[in-house]
Amino acid sequence: MWRTLYSIFLFVFLLAGCESSRIVDQVQIIHAMGYDWKNGKYIGTAIYPTFRQGPMTKPDILTTESSTTYDLIPRLSSKSALPIEEGQMRLVLFGKSFAKKGITEIVHSLARNNKVGSHLQLAVAKGDAEELLRITAETTLSDTLYLSNLVEQNIREMNLPNTNLHIFLYNYFGKGRDPFLPYFEKKGNFVKLEGLALFNDGHYVGRIDLRQSFLVKMLLDQTKNGVYQIPISRNKQKGRVLLENLFATSRYSFKKGKQPVIDIHLHIRAVIRDYPTWLDLPDKRAFKLVRNQMEKHLNKDITALLSYFQKKEIDPLGIGDFVRSHTRNWNEKSFYQQYQQLTIRPHVKIDIVQTGIGE
């Protein structure tokens, strides 16, 4: 009996020594954080749920300003009656002005913060992050995770390439590659995902739309899902087909010499989801014509996208990293001095596995 009592006493003692738990309605759990640069000041905005009776929650907003980014969270705490908790933060949203100025300080701070998970989403807003977070709080009623869920859904099912804090840090610190982030815009009273924000050395330098994001997703290798509209024509008739990616793989090759060449072989297995009524796809000649036109247009669109990256002197596909892995004594500075003149050739092959229920 004494042994049993001793065990119970030890168990209670150990429990008492554990870190005190926090009750959910006695802390401010930040789900999204926004950063802006306005009128010479840094603006910090936090969106958090306020718990009502039962399971009901309502998004609320806290905002503050400072001359530095380091004390924005402490300043938010000074406006909150409850302790601020960052452990459940799912999204950090940068206003475009802030992103142009540079997000390096915030990214370094997030990398050092052991309360923040590596699957945290980062994103850029066309205007102010505060405005987009307020729209989200007003229009989504009870969903404080709307923006992060929107990003994750588009990664799984649509045109957005995989992205989170871990991937951003890998692309940011890695040699021969540049990071990218989801890009949001205000559309009326709603927030819409519009593509990818592109970065060079931690600074926003441009963006691409969701259609081009689909190309990036495929070129980054082994992707599922996503849709792409392609123009087609036959006998003076014009229309568009909607291509749905089932699975795509990309393979890079490097030819050394005085004029080095990168060849990108992209193999797509796809379904044609929709096409004009005048197009008879079961006909073998029409089928071959459509496939050839799709491959031609995709080659053209990828070439234009690669030229845009070279013009902006950014490398979101990690081509420099690929060349580094095939080159002795690779030098990052000298490679990117020649990057704009580098010949990069896409080669697209499409296997259409299904054209619809009427096939």
Per-chain mean pLDDT for the chain: 86
Tokens of 289: 């014509």
The mean pLDDT value for 314-329 works out to 94
Answer whether residue 352 shows pLDDT above 50: yes
- pLDDT 10s digits, 29-43: 888 999 999 999 999
- Which residue type occupies 138? E
- pLDDT 10s digits, 267-314: 999 988 888 888 877 778 888 888 999 999 999 999 999 999 999 999
pLDDT above 70: percentage of residues in the chain = 86
Q: Tell me the sheet residues that pair with 47.
A: 32, 61
Q: Which architecture, in CATH terms, is 221-354?
A: 2-Layer Sandwich (3.30)
Provide the residue ranges of all domains of the chain, joining segments of one domain with +: 24-208, 221-354
Q: Where are the alpha helices (DSSP H) in the chain?
A: 2-17, 72-77, 96-101, 104-112, 129-139, 146-157, 165-173, 210-219, 284-312, 319-324, 332-337
- pLDDT 10s digits, 218-263: 999 768 889 999 999 988 889 999 988 889 999 999 998 888 999 9
Separation CA 197–CA 124 (nearest Å): 7
Q: Strand (E) positions, 161-302?
A: 180-187, 190-200, 203-209, 227-234, 237-255, 261-274
Contact 241, 275 (CB under 8 A): yes
- pLDDT 10s digits, 40-98: 999 999 988 876 655 556 778 889 999 988 888 888 877 766 766 777 889 999 999 99
- What is the structure's pLDDT at 115? 85
Separation CA 215–CA 226 (nearest Å): 10
Interacting residues of 52 by C-beta distance below 8 A, sequence separation 6+: 58
Tokens of 48: 């958090």
